[in-house]
Amino acid sequence: MVEPADPRRSLARPGTVSRVLTGIAQCLKWLIISLAFSILIEWVGMTFWWEEQGVAHSRQMLVNELQFLGTDFHRSWLTAHPMQFASDLSESFYTIAFEWTGIVDLIRWITPIPSNEEPGVRPVLHRLYLPVADYVLAGMQITQVFAVRLAILTLATPVFGLFTLVALVDGLVRRDLRRWRGGRESSFVYHYAKKAAIPVIIIAWVLYLALPFSLHPSWIILPFALAFAFAVTITASTFKKYI
Whether pTM exceeds 0.85: no
Model pLDDT, residue 189: 67
Model pLDDT, residue 77: 64
Q: What digits encode the pLDDT tens for the residues 75-96?
A: 666 666 777 777 778 888 888 8
Contact 150, 89 (CB under 8 A): yes
Q: Which residues of the chain have pLDDT under 50?
A: 1-2, 10, 242-243
Cα dihedral across residues 167, 168, 174, 178: positive or negative: positive
Phi, psi of 212 (to 5 degrees): -85, 10
Q: What digits encode the pLDDT tens for the residues 91-145?
A: 888 888 888 888 888 888 888 877 777 777 878 888 888 888 888 888 888 888 8
Give how far the C-alpha of residue 87 lies from the chain's centroid of Cα atoms, to the nearest Å.
17
Contact 65, 145 (CB under 8 A): yes
Using alpha carbons, list the distances in angstroms from residue 41 to 58, 120, 178. Answer: 11, 35, 48
Model pLDDT, residue 92: 83
DSSP 212: S
Domain extents for the chain? 26-155, 157-243
Quickly list DSSP for 119-180. Answer: -SSHHHHHHHHGGGHHHHHHHHHHHHHHHHHHHHHHHTHHHHHHHHHHHHHHHHHHHHHHHH
Model pLDDT, residue 198: 79
Contact 34, 209 (CB under 8 A): yes
